[in-house]
Structure 1
Amino acid sequence: MSQKKYRVIQWATGTVGKVALKHFIENPVIELAGVYVTKPEKINKDAGELLGLPPTGVLATNDIEELIKLDADCVFFAALIQDVDLYCRLLRSGKNVVTAAGPFNPTERYRDQFDKIEAACRDGNTSYHGCGVHPGFSGDILPLTLTRLMDRVDCIEVTEIIDKLRNPMIYTEVMGFGRDPDELLANPSRSPEAPFAFEGSMAMVIEGLGKKLEKITTKLEVAKATKDIPYTLGEGIPGGGIIRTGTVAGQHFEWTAWVDGAPFMIYHFYWVMGEDVEPKWNSGDSCYLVQMHGNPPLEVRVMGGTEADGRRPFNGLPWTALMGATAIPAVCDARSGVVTHIDLGVIQPRGLVRA
């Protein structure tokens, strides 16, 4: 049974980008058209070699102009920092763009960015889709789907739990672990703009229930290391060090969306450096937890499978890659312009069932 093929460019090959690149190489309905890299040692290497896979015939490059000229249906943008101007160049060149870097769902706060993207989509007759696991799946599609099982919804809580010691990431240092607790509370490392990157997901759920998001309030609390905690930033990533006793070894961000003058949708982020922290918050295995309060109450946990040591890994970064990668056929076939999860409807991924 023949299937339409989609030519895709993978933009960046970090943790998220490598997962997507492997998916594109192995997915029979995807044809890898190009790979963008930034590290000199990756330039001119075969895409397969970057992953320890057989050669693909596609060589990695840092030449943006060369990639813009390529014939491709879509670019999956997995760089850490969003680049709206680059998105617009790609869209005008006739390539659809799916990005894990955002911006995600349109809100008034980012209207200027989305207006630029919409104009580029019109010029290129292309589509743009921002998605990930959070912002994204765990905080919008999943809770909105769960409302179908509810008679009445009083409150929705979405919790992200990450043991960053067991699941090392470059964000450990960026987020200020190891800083003085009072100093971090007075001047958080996480950008004050961060809650508004998630506002679109909150708004999607709230508007899907026929209500309006009135405001977002935030709160931060920290946990301290009860002993010195050595850490790394991940396999092959230089850096790491020791979180000293008494410094920040856990952070709990709480962002609340208000509806009808009351808290309605709450995002919790529990990021901890292992078990030697106080307070412990009883956060448990790394996962996404969605709790629907109302009638009847329910909760759903999304977590990795049990590994050999009996514990579960945090799969947020691989899931971020796959949320975008599996949406590509639907985005390529969609109308031109910014397309959200609502616009795409129930995505039916292609090429996942293989011999």
Structure 2
Amino acid sequence: MQEKFRTIHYGIGAVGSEVLRVALQRQDIQVVGAIDTHPAKAGRELGEVLGLGRHLGINVSYDAESLLRDTSADVVVQATTSHLMTVYPQLVQAVASEKNVISSCEELSYPWTGQGELARKLDRRAKEAGVTVLGTGVNPGFVMDILPLVLTSPCQEVQSIAVTRVVDTSTRRLQLQIKTGTGLSPTEFRFRVSDGSIGHVGLKESLFMIAETMGWQLDEVKESIEPILATRRWETGAFVVEKGRVAGVRQTAVAMAGNREAIRLELQTSLGAEHPHDSIVIDGKPPIKLTIAGGIQGDQAAAAIMVNLIPAAVRARPGLLTMRDLPFIPWWSARGWWKEVPHDEHLRVL
């Protein structure tokens, strides 16, 4: 009899909905619950909320505590917000119910350096409950951290790692356009940066994951964020952006080790960005350069990664883990690669 992983989905927004659509296609997953506090979703039938045209026999719950307590599940797939401080109570609820957690929270992808106290608390709770907590996604969680680390495998020496991700937001969802300041004046942009409502979350987490995995002692970390201004008039489904107003954002995180630039991560997201791509350049022996034309589509990839990780999260050792603590995770095919891998609570690669 084929093993089924029972999942509860906490957060039915853009990412959470895409995760559910992927999970519902997998014959080895049984969705048993859904949680969302938005009035337009709570209490409604899940299939209706997802726009599937069919019912799933699951109503979206507003009461997370009761659903987590009363529903048997292997994994809580959580996709609500980017900031660990905000999402921490939700994670604690899930852990208290003795369920593994896979979260899209960007700050959870590698919280040990930036938010060590919260990370240690969560790690302790997870170990006491005997469950795994894991933060992941496409960025952070893959393109700008795990993928470049994997690419260093054939190197005898590595001096530096540089990753650039260029995204054309005209092809992406509205929320990303808002998050990158689309349509603002340069002055409004600076104000929104200062209050934290604009910009990518997770660049520092990717940088620290790379540095600590490579064993590099950093002397300085510099971050910058600046607007990309429209060079012509743009019309999107939600915005009219005149020339000279904000079309997107450029963010950079640079780590210095001694006199050398050890890590450079640059993210450019804007309307009509030319030649979207992901590129990784490793100054090593041998040198390596990888370019992914078009770049990896963020929402699709994030959802796939979260679903593909379900078997590994169930089998991993208890505690707060990061993507570098897990074995290689391929596409979760119908054959189920995980069936050939024995449960090993010490399974890890880094």
2:263 matched to which residue of 1?
265
Match of 2:280 in 1: 290
Whichever residue aligns with residue 204 of structure 1, its letter is M
Post-superposition shift, 1:244?
2.0
Per-residue deviation, residues 78-113 of structure 1 (Å, max 9, x unmatched): 113441012012101111111001422232320121
Indicate whether 1:113 and 2:118 are aligned. Answer: yes
Bigger Cα displacement from structure 2, 94-103 vs 144-153? 144-153
1:175: Cα distance to partner? 3.0
**Residue pairs, 1:1-355, within 5 angstroms:** 2-49=1-48, 50-52=50-52, 54-69=54-69, 70-82=71-83, 83-101=87-105, 102-181=107-186, 184-185=189-190, 188=193, 191=196, 197-232=202-237, 240-274=238-272, 283-285=274-276, 287-302=277-292, 315-347=297-329, 350-353=332-335
Residues 151 and 36 of structure 1: CA distance in aligned 2, closer, same or farther (over 3 Å): same
Q: Indicate the percent of aligned positions where both proteins have the same amino acid.
A: 25
CA separation in 2, counterparts of 1:184 and 1:48?
38
Distance in 1, matches of 2:229 and 2:323, equals: 39
Partner-residue secondary structure (3-state), 2:46: coil
Q: How far, CA to CA, are the matches of 2:29 and 2:235 in structure 1?
A: 41
Gaps of 5+ in 1: 233-239, 276-282, 304-311
State the partner residue of 1:235.
none
Structure 1 residue 292: Cα displacement:
1.8
For residue 278 of structure 1, what is the aligned residue in structure 2? Answer: none
Following TM superposition, by how much is the alpha carbon of 1:76 offset from its aligned partner in structure 2, in angstroms?
A: 0.6
Asked whether the 8 Å contact 1:255–1:268 carries over to 2, the reply is: yes
What is the aligned partner in structure 1 of residue 339 from structure 2?
A: none
CA contact (8 A) 1:224 1:247 kept: yes
Deviation at 1:352, TM superposition (A): 4.1
**Do the aligned residues in 1 keep the contact of 2:250 with 2:267 (CA within 8 Å)?**
yes
Distance change (3 Å), C-alpha of 1:328 and 1:159: same
Compare 155-164 and 288-297 and name the one that shifted more: 288-297
| Contact kept? 1:8, 1:32, Cα under 8 Å | yes
Partner SS for 1:256: strand
* 1-structure distance, mates of 2:323, 2:75: 17
Whole-angstrom CA distance in 2 between matches of 1:261 and 1:253: 22
Segment of structure 1 superposing worse, 86-95 or 118-127: 118-127
What CA RMSD, in Å, does the superposition of the two structures yield over aligned residues?
2.7
Q: Distance in 2 between matches of 1:187 and 1:24?
A: 35
Measure, in 2, the Cα distance between the counterparts of 1:42 and 1:261.
53
Whole-angstrom CA distance in 2 between matches of 1:198 and 1:225:
24
TM-score, L = length of structure 1: 0.83
C-alpha deviation, 1:45, in angstroms: 3.7
Q: Determine the C-alpha separation between the residues in 2 that align with 1:243 and 1:297.
A: 41
Aligned-partner Cα distance in 2 for 1:11–1:140? 25
C-alpha distance in 2 between matches for 1:24 and 1:250: 32
User: Are the aligned partners of 1:175 and 1:189 in contact in 2 as well (CA < 8 Å)?
Assistant: no
**Cα separation, 2, equivalents of 1:250 and 1:273:** 6
Is the 1:195–1:255 Cα contact (8 Å) retained in structure 2?
A: no
Indicate conservation of the 8 Å contact 1:179/1:248, yes or no. Answer: yes
The superposition leaves residues 183-231 of structure 1 with CA deviations (integer Å, 9 ceiling, x where unpaired) of 6357636839978833332233223333223331023343322333222
> 2-side partners of 1:300 and 1:134: how far apart?
17
Partner SS, residue 137 of structure 1: coil
Q: Figure out how many residues of one structure are paired with residues of the other and give that number.
A: 330
Inter-CA distance 253–335: structure 2 relative to 1 (3 Å threshold):
same
Q: CA deviation at 1:271?
A: 1.4
For residue 333 of structure 1, report the CA deviation from its aligned partner: 1.3
Taking the aligned partners of 1:352 and 1:265, their CA distance within structure 2 comes to: 38
The aligned amino acid for 1:115 is R
Q: Which amino acid aligns with 2:17?
A: K
- What TM-score, normalized to structure 2? 0.84
1:172: how far off? 2.0
CA contact (8 A) 2:207 2:253 kept: no
Counterpart AA for 2:266: H
Q: CA deviation at 1:144?
A: 0.8
CA distance in 2, matches of 1:192, 1:55: 36
Residues 290-330 of structure 1 deviation map (CA, whole Å, 9 limit, x = unaligned): 12233333322345xxxxxxxx5861112112212211111
